[in-house]
Amino acid sequence: MVWRCRAPRTHNGSEVMYVKSYTVQPATTLQGEISVPGDKSISHRSIMLGSIARGETTVRGFLRGEDNISTLDAFRAMGVGVEDDGETLRIKGAGLHGLSEPADILDCGNSGTSMRLITGLLSGQRFFSVLTGDQYLRKRPMGRVIEPLGRMGATIFGRSGGDKAPLAIVGRELTGITHTSKVASAQVKSALMLAGLYADGTTTVTEPHLSRDHSERMFRYFGADVETSNTTVSVRGGRELTGRDIVVPGDISSAAFFIVAALIVPGAELLIRGVGVNPTRTGVIDILVAMGGSIELLDRREVSGEPVADLLVRASRLKGIEIGGEVVPRAIDEFPVISVAAALAEGKTVLRDARELRVKETDRIAAMAANLRRSGVQVVETEDGMEITGTEKLQGCMAESFGDHRIAMSMLIAGLAAAGNVTVDDIDCIATSFPTFIELLEKVAGR
């Protein structure tokens, strides 16, 4: 494996960016026992709820990725005291109405979860705030949260007719609404739930399929007034939350890269300890098992209201399948790496109902189609998915991250099972969700 640092290049006329690339050589084996860093979604929510609860919240296993640090910095900028001894975060909860007006713009970096959820929470504050993000986040749609928050009474301004960041938020007295979301989105649902804590009456959100339910679980754990039924959640406003102790499980979205690695490298066997297996997140396991993957869930347990297990994964002969419907939101972040598994499966894999992939950190359908074609795979892009015809062996290639952490990691995993080296350009983005990824990749590949 080789680190290559390119010459600095000018970006946006003024900033200078260092573009790091990484080359992965084919793996001869993949063995061992690993654990992956804490769940990104749960880490975000632990800061948010801990900050507005009464009393202290402790968080162990917090993901120290750039996205979560953006959330942490935002709450510190609103006056929340957070002590960090390197292992446990201690959040001094400010209470429901205890946040203070930030003195400057809050920068969410690359994190859509930070921006959408914090927008919901700021809508109910008695102060003015502005949120921005990096070049990728400023292109992502925010109208999906701004429109319903507006109906609750919030005043939010944004670029592109109110759809794009930077966003300026004037906090108001809010009133509960009933919202039917067109997309299954935990970010939309959670933004409205957070605003709902401040609203007069009840805020109800219904989604077409159930998206990840970490907010529902953590709201309950902190004592919020929440009810759920099928794909509907209701939050009654006004109730104070109580600080709690949280242990964050390993992120199944990070584990997914190593699950696929262990399935596609001949002779591989990997034990991944302490992975969150909330049923709203295990679509990746269901899909890979349906493709013929050997994945066993061992020692199932519950930690801070979330199910956890150890995953034993063995190299398997995979076959193409059709994917669509309710499993899609349960695996939404894993399709880049699932597409790598599909590229090495026998026959065709057809993915449908995944239009949301086009508005993630990058257009993940276009990005993976471009990268897999470079490694010799036949891919047909459709509006809401793709068709991938599996091949015996991937070719070595130069792949692009498109500034998206999950695209970068997926192509590095592809490199483990390729005939030649795979180089991924611009891998700094990996630090948004999985800063120790390369280290772990080298460990399991025995390098």
Q: Could you list the residues that contact ligand S3P (CB under 6 A)?
A: 41, 44, 113, 185-187, 190, 211-212, 332-333, 356
Closest CB to ligand S3P among residues 125, 185: 185
Q: Which residue lies nearer to ligand S3P by CB, 190 or 371?
A: 190
Active site residue: 107, 134, 251, 333, which one? 333
Nearer to ligand S3P, 310 or 334 (CB): 334
Q: Distances from the Cα of 143 to the Cαs of 41, 167, 188, in angstroms?
A: 21, 11, 10
Q: Measured on CA atoms in the order 145, 62, 326, 219, is the torsion positive or negative?
A: negative
Min separation Cβ 36 and ligand S3P, Å: 15
Distance CA 211, CA 282 (A): 11
Its sign, for the CA torsion 255, 256, 261, 264, is positive
> What are the b/e assignments for 130-149, b being 16+ CB within 10 Å?
bbbbbebbbebebebbbebb
Q: Which residues of 397-408 are buried (b: 16+ CB within 10 A; e: fewer)?
A: bebbbbbbbbbb
| Active-site annotation holds for 163 | no
Which residue, 69 or 332, has its beta carbon nearer to ligand S3P? 332
Q: Which is nearer to ligand S3P, 339 or 375 (CB)?
A: 339
Closer residue to ligand S3P, CB minimum distance, 72 or 394 = 72
The least distance separating ligand S3P from the CB of residue 1, rounded to whole angstroms, comes to: 27
DSSP state, residue 7? P
Query: Rounded to whole angstroms, what are the CA distances from 286 to 291, 318, 417?
Result: 9, 13, 22
Minimum Å gap between C-beta 315 and ligand S3P is 28
Q: Cβ 66 to ligand S3P, closest distance in Å?
A: 13
Within a 10 A sphere around the Cβ of 173, how many other Cβ atoms? Answer: 12
CA 270 to chain centre: 23
Element (H, E) at 423: strand 422-425
Min dist CB 157 to ligand S3P, Å, is 22
- Least distance CB 285 / ligand S3P (angstroms): 17
Supply 314's token pair: 């063995």
Sign (positive/negative) of CA torsion 194, 197, 200, 206?
positive
Active site residues: 333
